[in-house]
């Protein structure tokens, strides 16, 4: 059996780490393709070094371009790779542009697609990730859902049960493994951590200003590893000076996975617009303050661990100072064995022919 795995962005690299290990253990040939969607050292290579993922077999060089140009470029590249490799399936992760490009190319070539992290839905039809996820799910013959809600979303869209597997969240598997292996202390420390990179926040002067103002207004110490896209806009919107003048908000370069997990584990609260970081925060027992009103993982909100501050300056400051969940923290994201369930299903579905 031969699998082509396609990665392109930071969260993909993290998830690939465990799949790679498990495929290797089971003696399955994996061809790794890096679409180059993330290309800065801190956004890409450091993850390969840090997580000990083997060098990609194919690596497309990419640079800053519009999302549509990026997808078109990656799709053409994937056509060549997939025709050459003739794999039994193409494995894609999450909701990024790379995922969509690989899924479309693969389905057009009649190579079955398997989608890790399918079924996440929001009502924001034109959110870039929503588009990628919906299309990818519909092109996939096997969809792995992280949570029961994601699984139900797919059933409600009339996906047959034979195409959906409730695997749990592979991000949880890697997070718990890393905390354990590195003996990272998980505690409510004296600082909070913020990440901001969503297009809706970063491309809007008004929203980004509202968020930065809220972080500063809280007067709590907040560490802010800045995504390159966000850094560009902070400069353009004249917000860097405001940050540098604040003694509370501390900006840093994007962090390696290991360093980021250490920072998360020691944080008091997690403030984010990321779909992944909100899960990681919850799993590590941090109150999560969300900077965008998109209903991914409604279970966290239901459990009382998420506060939606959106880009509202006062709500953000107030939540940093006062938001404290008082309820139990149910297990939402599986048992830390999603990678085994995924590989087992790939083998039973695609491994029989050979
Ligand atoms: C992408 C994903 C998002 C995911 C995030 C993780 C899409 C639509 N979005 O967002 O779902 O949560 O990755 O980080 O796929 N850039 C750099 N250096 C880099 C990478 C990007 O300067 O290493 C610049 C790009 O040139 C572009 C901007 O940042 O101008 C956006 O990059 P892109 O990869 O399209 O989206 P992200 O914001 O990273």
Q: Is the pLDDT of residue 278 over 50?
A: yes
260's tokens: 């980021």
Q: Is the pLDDT of residue 49 over 70?
A: yes
Give the model's pLDDT for residue 176.
96
Give the model's pLDDT for residue 352.
63
Q: Please name the residue ranges forming H helices in 248-329.
A: 257-265, 275-283, 298-302, 313-322
Give the model's pLDDT for residue 123.
86
Give the model's pLDDT for residue 260.
97
Residue with tokens 């690939």: 16
Q: Which residue has the higher pLDDT, 140 or 247?
A: 140
CA-nearest residue for atom 28, ligand 1, is: 229
CA-nearest residue for atom 27, ligand 1, is: 64
Distance 38 CA to ligand 1 centre (A): 6
Q: Give residue-wise pLDDT tens across range 75-86.
A: 999 999 999 999
CA-nearest residue for atom 12, ligand 1, is: 274
| For the CA of 96, the nearest atom of ligand 1 | 15
Average pLDDT, the chain: 95
Total Cβ atoms within 10 A of residue 213: 19
Distance 229 CA to ligand 1 centre (A): 7
DSSP annotation of 144: E
211's tokens: 């968020």
What is the separation, in whole angstroms, between the first and last Cα of the chain?
6
338's tokens: 């999603």
| For the CA of 100, the nearest atom of ligand 1 | 15
The span from the CA of 70 to the CA of 59, in Å, is 14
Distance 330 CA to ligand 1 centre (A): 32
> Taking a C-beta distance cutoff of 8 angstroms, is the pair 284, 175 a contact?
yes
Distance 39 CA to ligand 1 centre (A): 9
Among residues of the chain, what percentage have pLDDT more than 70? 99
Which helix H or strand E contains 343, and what residues bound it? helix 338-350
| For the CA of 42, the nearest atom of ligand 1 | 23
DSSP string, 171-205: HHHHHHHHHHHTT------S-EEEE---HHHHT-H
Contacts of 43 (CB under 8 A, 6+ apart): 9, 10, 227, 228, 254
Give the model's pLDDT for residue 52.
81
CA-nearest residue for atom 18, ligand 1, is: 40
Q: Is the pLDDT of residue 51 over 90?
A: no
Active site residue 38: no
110's tokens: 């009649």
CA-nearest residue for atom 9, ligand 1, is: 96
Q: Is the pLDDT of residue 354 over 60?
A: no
Q: Is the pLDDT of residue 290 over 50?
A: yes
Among residues of the chain, what percentage have pLDDT more than 90? 91
Question: What values do phi and psi take at 338, rounded to 5?
Answer: -60, -40
| For the CA of 39, the nearest atom of ligand 1 | 23
Q: Name all residues whose Cβ lies below 6 A of ligand 1.
A: 9-11, 37-40, 43, 64, 67, 95-97, 128-129, 197, 228-229, 274
State the pTM of this model.
Answer: 0.95
Q: Give residue-wise pLDDT tens across range 195-229.
A: 999 999 999 999 999 999 999 999 999 999 999 99
The span from the CA of 246 to the CA of 261, in Å, is 25
176's tokens: 């718990």
Nearest to 11 by CA among 224, 342, 269, 274: 274
The span from the CA of 88 to the CA of 107, in Å, is 12
Give the model's pLDDT for residue 64.
66
Model confidence band, residue 353 (pLDDT cutoffs 50, 70, 90): low
| For the CA of 274, the nearest atom of ligand 1 | 12
Give the model's pLDDT for residue 224.
98
Distance 348 CA to ligand 1 centre (A): 34
Which helix H or strand E contains 30, and what residues bound it? strand 29-34
> Taking a C-beta distance cutoff of 8 angstroms, is the pair 327, 310 a contact?
no
> Taking a C-beta distance cutoff of 8 angstroms, is the pair 194, 173 a contact?
no
Contacts of 227 (CB under 8 A, 6+ apart): 43, 195, 196, 197, 202, 254
Residue to substitute in 15, 38, 59, 202 for testing ligand 1 pocket (most ligand atoms within 8 angstroms of CB): 38
Residue of 34, 38, 197, 227 marked catalytic? 197
Contacts of 189 (CB under 8 A, 6+ apart): 266, 267, 268
Give the model's pLDDT for residue 50.
85
Distance 340 CA to ligand 1 centre (A): 29
Q: Give residue-wise pLDDT tens across range 122-178.
A: 988 899 999 999 999 999 999 999 999 999 999 999 999 999 999 999 999 999 999
Question: What values do phi and psi take at 43, rounded to 5?
Answer: -100, -15
Give the model's pLDDT for residue 327.
80
DSSP string, 44-68: THHHHHHHTPPPPSEE----S--HH
CA-nearest residue for atom 7, ligand 1, is: 96
Question: What values do phi and psi take at 64, rounded to 5?
Answer: -60, 125
């Amino acid at each position: 059996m031969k699998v082509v795995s396609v990665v392109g962005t930071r969260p993909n690299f993290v998830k690939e780490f465990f799949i790679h290990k498990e495929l290797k253990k089971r003696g399955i040939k994996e061809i790794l393709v890096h679409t180059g969607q993330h290309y800065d050292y801190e956004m890409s290579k450091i993850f390969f070094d840090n997580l000990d993922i083997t060098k990609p077999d194919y690596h497309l060089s990419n640079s800053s371009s519009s999302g549509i140009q990026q997808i078109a470029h990656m799709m053409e590249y994937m056509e060549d790779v997939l025709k050459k490799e003739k794999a039994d399936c193409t494995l894609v992760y999450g909701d990024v542009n790379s995922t969509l490009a690989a899924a479309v190319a693969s389905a057009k070539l009649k190579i079955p697609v398997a989608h890790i992290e399918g079924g996440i839905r929001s009502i924001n039809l034109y959110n870039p990730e929503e588009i990628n996820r919906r299309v990818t799910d519909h092109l996939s013959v096997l969809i792995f859902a992280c949570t029961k809600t994601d699984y139900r979303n797919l059933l409600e869209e009339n996906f047959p049960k034979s195409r959906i597997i409730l695997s749990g969240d592979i991000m949880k598997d890697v997070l718990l493994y890393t905390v354990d292996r590195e003996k990272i202390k998980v505690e409510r420390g004296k600082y909070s951590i913020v990440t901001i990179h969503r297009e809706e926040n970063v491309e809007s002067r008004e929203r980004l200003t509202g968020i930065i103002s809220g972080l500063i207004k809280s007067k709590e110490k907040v560490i802010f590893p800045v995504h390159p896209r966000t850094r560009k806009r902070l400069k353009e919107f004249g917000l860097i000076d405001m940050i540098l003048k604040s003694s509370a908000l501390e900006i840093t370069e994007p962090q390696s996975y290991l360093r980021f997990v250490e920072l998360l584990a020691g944080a008091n609260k997690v403030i984010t617009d990321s779909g992944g970081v909100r899960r990681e925060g919850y799993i590590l027992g941090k109150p999560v303050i969300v900077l965008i009103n998109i209903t991914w993982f409604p279970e966290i909100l239901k459990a009382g661990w998420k506060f939606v501050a959106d880009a509202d300056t006062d709500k953000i400051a107030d939540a940093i100072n006062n938001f404290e969940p008082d309820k139990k923290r149910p297990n939402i994201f599986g048992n830390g064995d999603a990678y085994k369930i995924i590989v087992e299903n790939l083998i039973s579905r695609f491994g029989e022919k050979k």
